[in-house]
Amino acid sequence: MPRSRNHRLLRGLFALAFVALTAPACVSKPTMQLDHAEITGIRIAFPPSLGILMTVVVNVHNPNSYDVAVRAVRGTVVLAGRYPLPVDFQAGGEGVWLPSDRTTQVRVPISVPVDLGYLLLRESFASPVIPYRFSGRADVTATRTFRLEADDYSVDDHGVVSRQQIAAALGVPL
């Protein structure tokens, strides 16, 4: 009987050691840095709404030795220092997978109301660019195998978008 108990104990310790050696100890936080923003046209959505499609491109570096996925990005874009817009990007499927020890661009779409686009063009007539600040958080899944989830990987960075891009999306000559 003692042999059976020792055998089970040994099997249990082996299983525990296997999990400890193969599972990541913890997810190292990916670093997120704003790269740029693009204005790519008009967005028509349902219920009926019309907006300028602005895509914020974020460089995300995964320092881990395993892949991680960005499931969602939430936050705020503040245009011209005073016009906040919500950010609520939900990646499709399993998310945007980031290879280990690499930097990957994650594209976060934002809809800018057309009225705000016209207002920004009028207010920034003396400048070729419109500043913005992107503050947000990402939800991340670590490893395809274990599906460890962690939230609140943050980014807070500034950038500019050109007046020319907004004017082109609206079909307005500068």
Query: DSSP secondary structure string, 78-146?
Result: EETTTEEEEEEEE-STT-EEE-TTEEEEEEEEEEEEHHHHHHHHHHTTT-SEEEEEEEEEEEEEE-TTT
- Give yes or no for residue 169 having a pLDDT over 80: yes
By mean pLDDT, which of 125-129, 131-135, 150-154, 159-163 is the weakest?
A: 150-154
What domains appear along the chain, each with residue ranges and CATH number? 28-170 (2.60.40.1820)
Question: Is pLDDT above 50 for 152?
Answer: yes
pTM listed for this prediction:
0.76
pLDDT-based confidence at 74, cuts 50/70/90? very high
Q: Is the pLDDT of residue 80 over 60?
A: yes
Percent of the chain exceeding pLDDT 70 equals 78
Q: Extract the tokens encoding 34.
A: 């704003």
Instruction: Please determine, for residue 22, whether its predicted confidence score (pLDDT) is greater than 50.
Output: no
CA atoms within 13 A on the CB side of 168: 11
In this model, does residue 42 exceed pLDDT 70?
yes
Instruction: Express each pLDDT in 51-62 by its tens digit.
Output: 999 999 999 898
Which residue in this structure is represented by tokens 């907004």?
Answer: 166
